[in-house]
Each structure stands twice: as C-alpha cells, then as structure tokens.
Chains A and B, each alone.
Chain A
Amino acid sequence: MNSKSLRVGIAELKTAGNPKILTTPALGSCVAVVLYEVDLKMGGMAHVMLPDSNKSRKKQNAAKFADTAIRQMIRALERKGASKERLVAKIVGGAHMFNGNNGLVRDIGMRNVEAAKNILKQEGIRIISEDTGADYGRSVEFHTCDGKVFIRSVKGKKGI
C-alpha cells in the first residue's frame, strides 16, 4: 500500500484531499458510503456497520452507524471547505452473506443500505451510483482525483 492510499477499517470514517485513494477491504453486510466534492476533488469514506445509532446503547463511535457516520462525514468535509450542495454520494456493500437458513439471519445488509439512502436523502445529497445487496463481499477503492470507485469481488472487478 503506497502513501497515496488510506485504509478505512470497520466502523471507521476518513476524509482526504487530492490525490488520495481511500480503500476498505472486504465489505460483507457493512456499507461503504463515499461522499465526493467534485470541485475541490475532496472526499470521504465511512465503513458503516449498523443502520441506526438510536437503537444502540453505546453510541461513542459515530462511524459505526449510518445516521451518525454520514452526518459526521458531511461536517468533516464542510470544515475542510467543501460545500454540502456540491457533494454527491456512492454506496457499496450491504450484502446478505449467509444463505440457506431460511431467513433466520436478519438481513442487516439491506437495512444498512436503506438507512444510508434515507440519511443521504434527508441531507439532500444525491446518490450517483451504487453496488449493493446480493450475496457476495466487496473490496472498495475510492479515488479522490476523479471520484471513481472501483470494486473487487468474487464476481470480478468493476468501476462505478
């Protein structure tokens, strides 16, 4: 991993200017929310674990929940000079990894994706592309130079 790339771990969020590559390896039911400010070529990535901070007793780690992570990321980007109106979003992940036990495992992946979409809508941020759901994991690479997001999975490579 070179100095241009920055790894975002589980329940973490990071912001970066240009040129940087924000990466998160192997998302399962977690969701990576990417925010990009086109004019300043600046962005952020959050590796969100759960949909809603209000349903948890421990809320210290804002980056763990879709609602608090997205809002904190917007504020962090705004502090660096980004304008909320120019932010666009891409979301990746939220898979339903485990098949075959008749729905006994709750589909948290889907709920994570829905929560992220709701919060982004409330904040007035447009989602320009997504690769979510299904039953396979995804590794994500976000390039701040052009806002491109690359995804690696057992299904192959793609860019969104």
Chain B
Amino acid sequence: MKSSSLKKTKKAGRTIHASPPFNKGGTGGIFGAKQQLNELQIDMLREIANIGACHAANALSQLVQKRIMIHVPRISKFSLSDLSDIFNGPETLVAGLYAPVSGEISGNMLFLLSSKDAFTIVDLLWGRPMGETKALTERDRELLRQASNILIASYLMAMTKFTGMTSSAAPAAVAFDMLGAVFDAIAVEVNARTENAVLVETNILETADKVNGLLFFMPDVDCLDKTLQKMRVES
C-alpha cells in the first residue's frame, strides 16, 4: 500500500485522500488467455474505479461524520485464492454486503468489513459510544444495509457519469458469517452469470477509529469490453 504523495480533494468539508496510480499489482491474465487487458485499458478501469471509490468514500464520510481515506483500486482476475489471505482465514466472522449490478455496466458489488469494523461502523452510524455494539441486531443489519446502499449507489453514479454508460445496483443484502462462506456465495453468483469477471478492490479507511472496509466491484467482462471501447473512442 502506498501512502506517499497523496492527492487531497476537499469535499463537503471533509478530506478525501486518493493515492496516485498504482503499479500493476502483479496479476496478469485478467481476461484469461484469450483476452488480455492492455495497459491503457487497465488505466481506464482504474480511473473509473478510483472515481467511483472516491465518491463512495465521500458518501460514507458524510454518513459517519469522519474523514475517510481510500487506497488506489487493485485490479486482478477474479480469483478466490487471492482473497482468502485477507483477514484471518476462511472462518473469520465478517459482515458482507452484496448487491447485483445491472445496466450497460453489469456485475456485482461487495462491501466487506471484519466483525469488529462492522460494530465500529454501527457505533458511528448510531452515534453510540465506541465499543458499545458487540453483536448485530436486525436494526443494526438494516442500518448497515442502508449505508451500503448509499455507498454502492455513489460508486455507480460516479461511474455512470464518467463513462456515460448506465448502471444501477439492487438493494444490498447482508450476511454476517464466515469470510469463506461469503466469498463462496459471491463466487457462485459471479460464475452463474459470467465465465469471467474482473475484481476491482478498494480499501476504504476511516483512520480515527481504524476501520478498514473493502469494496469489491466485479464487472462482467463482456460489458467491460464495451465500456472501454466507448471510452477509447471518446478520448
């Protein structure tokens, strides 16, 4: 993760940090053997994701009234083995908020929080003293769901404006369960709709209370091709 030369943008009185373009991330073969993304396409995708994540972070910032940072999106082939290392293994308890995305850009969105971070976000959203939430009630889940809806909608809206392609998310669904089981269900969703997907991963950080959320955007490859073509024509 890079923290040097951070770019600052003032938005709604709060600061959003966005890191500069990231190196390749070392994951080749994004589209499998047949289609490889070239450097220009990766840059375009990262730019789209960056704008989306920036707006999502800004929305979260307004919700929790705290400064939110983002890291530059990491782009890789959709692969579960890469993901199992995050947090503490497949049986770690996490909150996963999932929404299918449809429109000219289609795919899946997932906002992932460790159980501790989910409790912290719930504390922040309710304005409770830190550490008060120790389990998620129905109302807490509903609150997380609504917050995620705003986060995801902000991401997609920014992306839609930038690319000129339509895209909207269904209301988020929540799972509070083992990390592996959440990924397992997402992998099934991705595989049921497309043979190939790209994983765009952004860290969303709230530094004061050390919340680290992971926002995953998994666009279907077919629609991504069209988006990138359109953007190239226009640029």
Binding site for B on A (CB under 8 A): 9-10, 25-30, 49-50, 56-58, 64, 95, 97-102, 104-106, 108-109, 112, 135-139, 152-154
A26: chain B residues within 8 A (beta carbon): 90-91, 178-181, 183-184
**Interface window among B49-57, B65-73, B168-176, B202-210:** B168-176
Confirm or deny: B192 has a beta carbon within 8 angstroms of a beta carbon on chain A: yes
**Interface window among B1-9, B36-44, B92-100:** B92-100
Confirm or deny: B80 has a beta carbon within 8 angstroms of a beta carbon on chain A: yes
Number of interface residues of B (CB under 8 A): 36
A137: chain B residues within 8 A (beta carbon): 177-178, 180-182, 184-185
User: Chain A interface secondary structure, helix, strand, loop or mixed?
Assistant: loop
- Whether A25 and B188, one on each chain, are in contact in the complex, defined by CB atoms closer than 8 angstroms, is no
- Whether A30 and B99, one on each chain, are in contact in the complex, defined by CB atoms closer than 8 angstroms, is no
B99: chain A residues within 8 A (beta carbon): 101
- Whether A28 and B192, one on each chain, are in contact in the complex, defined by CB atoms closer than 8 angstroms, is no
Chain A residue, CB-CB nearest to B142: A100
- Whether A99 and B177, one on each chain, are in contact in the complex, defined by CB atoms closer than 8 angstroms, is no
- Whether B171 and A102, one on each chain, are in contact in the complex, defined by CB atoms closer than 8 angstroms, is yes
- Whether A29 and B175, one on each chain, are in contact in the complex, defined by CB atoms closer than 8 angstroms, is no
Report A17 CB to chain B, min CB distance, Å: 26
CB < 8 Å: which of B178, B191, B192 contacts A139?
A: B178
Confirm or deny: B187 has a beta carbon within 8 angstroms of a beta carbon on chain A: yes
- Whether B98 and A105, one on each chain, are in contact in the complex, defined by CB atoms closer than 8 angstroms, is yes
Report A62 CB to chain B, min CB distance, Å: 14
Q: Would you list the 4 A-B pairs with minimal beta carbon distance, nearest first?
A: A137-B181, A26-B180, A28-B184, A28-B185
B93: chain A residues within 8 A (beta carbon): 154
Binding site for A on B (CB under 8 A): 80-81, 89-91, 93, 96, 98-100, 141-142, 145, 170-189, 191-192, 195
Chain B residue, CB-CB nearest to A99: B173
- Whether B188 and A30, one on each chain, are in contact in the complex, defined by CB atoms closer than 8 angstroms, is yes
B179: chain A residues within 8 A (beta carbon): 26
- Whether B189 and A108, one on each chain, are in contact in the complex, defined by CB atoms closer than 8 angstroms, is yes
Number of A-B contacts (CB under 8 A): 114
How far is B102's CA from A70's CA once the two chains are assembled, in angstroms?
33
- Whether B192 and A154, one on each chain, are in contact in the complex, defined by CB atoms closer than 8 angstroms, is no
B172: chain A residues within 8 A (beta carbon): 100-101
Report B35 CB to chain A, min CB distance, Å: 14
- Whether B192 and A108, one on each chain, are in contact in the complex, defined by CB atoms closer than 8 angstroms, is yes
B176: chain A residues within 8 A (beta carbon): 154
How far is B179's CA from A144's CA once the two chains are assembled, in angstroms?
27
Chain A residue, CB-CB nearest to B190: A49
Report B184 CB to chain A, min CB distance, Å: 3
Given contacts A105-B173, A154-B93, contact A10 B145 (CB under 8 A): no
B180: chain A residues within 8 A (beta carbon): 25-28, 137, 139
Report B115 CB to chain A, min CB distance, Å: 10
How far is B195's CA from A22's CA once the two chains are assembled, in angstroms?
28
How far is B170's CA from A28's CA once the two chains are assembled, in angstroms?
20
Given contacts A10-B80, A100-B174, A101-B99, contact A50 B188 (CB under 8 A): yes
B189: chain A residues within 8 A (beta carbon): 105, 108
How far is B171's CA from A57's CA once the two chains are assembled, in angstroms?
29
How far is B174's CA from A136's CA once the two chains are assembled, in angstroms?
11
- Whether A152 and B192, one on each chain, are in contact in the complex, defined by CB atoms closer than 8 angstroms, is no
CB < 8 Å: which of B171, B174, B185 contacts A29?
A: B185
- Whether B177 and A101, one on each chain, are in contact in the complex, defined by CB atoms closer than 8 angstroms, is no
- Whether A28 and B171, one on each chain, are in contact in the complex, defined by CB atoms closer than 8 angstroms, is no
How far is B186's CA from A135's CA once the two chains are assembled, in angstroms?
14
